[in-house]
Structure 1
Amino acid sequence: MSDSTARPRQLAFDLPVDSRHGIEDFLIGPSNEAAYALVESWPSWPEAWLRLTGPAGAGKTHLAAIWGRAAYAWTVRAAELGDDKVAHLISNGALVVEDCDAGPFDEAALFHLMNAVKARGGHLLLTARTPPEQWGLKVPDLLSRLRLAPSATIEPPDDGLLRAVLVKLFIDRQLVVDTAVIDALALRMERSFAAARLVVDRLDRLALERGRRVTRPLVQEALAELFPEEGG
């Protein structure tokens, strides 16, 4: 086919994805059911605070949002903490602090925040990809307290949960795909929540650019591009 008759590629725009964070949208499997149960046990937590750990894209923010709605919690990133903000942040009684391992933050502010939460009878949910030992903390008392904090861990997905997550990600993008596409992805892709988001996003863009449905050949192309070490 000549260039003059070839199908023109469509432009792909960065449109917002409808990522729903309701309790009914949280997919539960063996890898996350213990974390879900512990977060959902609020307000009967064993301590005033809880650490939620898991790899990128595992659903920490989703689970924190579910708890946040139940507890009427505010949400901040660890990098936004400051001693001058502690009194305001704890005034609500419940707080989510996200991305505690994303880089340096005001450690004294977090230590004071935890003291204030406990004194007030409030609750604090901390999210991170790694345990506190890997956060690069310099305040020994804070590290000790975080190590002893009750924790919930989201593990990499099993086969059934990975397939369910892939289906949800396609639905969030309003894409209809055959079960053969889901099977091909689950069989060949890296087994992680982050990889699922990455590959679905790439397939969404490829389908829009080519003006095609998401098919197995398109899946093969996307996997070969994103995971060349696996040979697609």
Structure 2
Amino acid sequence: MVQAPQIPFDFFAPTPASFDSFVVGDNAEVVTSLYALTDRASPVKPPPAVAIWGGPTVGKSHLLAATAAATNADNPGAAVLLAAGDAFPADPFVSARLICVDDADRLTAAQQGWLFTAFNHIVPSGGTVVVSGRTPPAQWPLRDDLRTRLGSGLIFELVAIPQDALPGALVEHAARRGFQLSDEVLTYILSRSRRDVASLWQIVNGIDALSLARKRAVTVPLLREYLARNNLSDSGASEV
């Protein structure tokens, strides 16, 4: 009986979210603004809030995680990273100077109360609350006093990477994982898969792991098998 291949320890495991691994595209202004928040020595007074909004898979969660990670790199505990689905800390009087809340447009009533108190605690001392949501913050179904505060600083729409930039971004991502995408494999991925960064990254990571398990090069037949086994092929994707 032939056993399915064991996926080995992935020594090219994805690194934590960072600004370096974010495909900027047309989002340079928001990336620059978030990165500036991580610089403790900056003479510029930080805004009370930064709200980013956009559709699914444009990278909102990535950027919030990158902002928190960069802030904590030199000063552990300086940033708190939360999401609407998380259990929030019991005490809103946190010592952090940066609070990042993903999916803030989905907060429960209790979470809204926590964030309201935390906002009023850290902002007077120069702290910032960074939040994300699917629509502009003025449309978020939150209590009025919190929604007003979250919209009182910078507001950015995060947009998807341009389609013509996807090939280069995929090649760079594969190179960071230690292998080269051939033109044939690249064309097959882009013509048979969903064309958003999150989905494409998942495919590159998965085919890399499968090629290591099989001890085979990344080829179209191997890619076709991976897509079929994981139901990742998008029949509606357009040819390139």
TM-score class, shorter: 0.7 to 0.9
Q: Aligned-pair distance for 1:48?
A: 1.0
How is 1:150-165 mapped onto 2 (pairs within 5 angstroms)?
150-165=154-169
The one-character-per-residue Cα deviations of 1:200-232 (angstroms, maximum 9, x if unpaired) are 233234434543221123334444531354379
**Counterpart amino acid of 2:25?**
G
Residue number among 197, 208, 221 corresponding to 1:193 in the alignment: 197
**1:39 paired residue among 20, 34, 38:** 34
1:145 to 140, 143, 149: 149
CA deviations over 1:144-193 (Å, ceiling 9, x no partner): 43345422232111134322432344244433322332233234422212
Structural mapping, 1:58-69, within 5 Å: 58-68=58-68, 69=70
Contact 2:193 2:237 in 1 (8 A): no
Distance 1:33 1:197 in 2: 21
CA contact (8 A) 1:38 1:152 kept: no
Match of 2:7 in 1: 12
Task: Please list the CA deviations of residues 14-70 of structure 1 after superposition, one character each: whole Å capped at 9, or x if unmatched.
Answer: 74723254444433222x223213324546477311012345554434433554425
Quick one: which of 22, 29, 32 aligns to 2:25?
Answer: 29
1:162 partner SS: helix
SS in 1 for 2:92: helix
Q: Within 2, Cα distance between the matches of 1:96 and 1:228?
A: 33
The letter for the 2-side match of 1:36 is V
Provide the TM-score with structure 1 as the length reference.
Answer: 0.73
Per-residue displacement from partner, 1:122-142 (whole Å, max 9, x unpaired)? 1222234554467653x2322
Match 2:232 to one of 213, 226, 231 = 226
**Equivalent residue for 1:122?**
127
Map of 2:117 onto structure 1:
112
Q: 2: distance between equivalents of 1:38 and 1:150?
A: 9
Q: Which amino acid aligns with 1:37?
A: T
Structure 1 134/185 Cα, relative in aligned 2: closer, same or farther at 3 Å?
farther
Determine if the alignment matches structure 1 residue 176 to structure 2 residue 206: no
* Cα root mean square deviation, aligned: 3.4
Would you say how many aligned residue pairs link Structure 1 and Structure 2? 222
Identity rate, percent: 24
Q: 1:231 and 1:114, CA in 2 relative to 1: closer, same or farther beyond 3 A?
A: closer
Residue deviations 1:54-97, cap 9 Å, x none?
45554434433554425843222143334x4221x2x2322323
User: CA 1:48–1:142 in 2, change beyond 3 Å: closer, same or farther?
Assistant: same
Structure 2 CA distance for partners of 1:164 and 1:58, relative to 1, 3 Å: farther
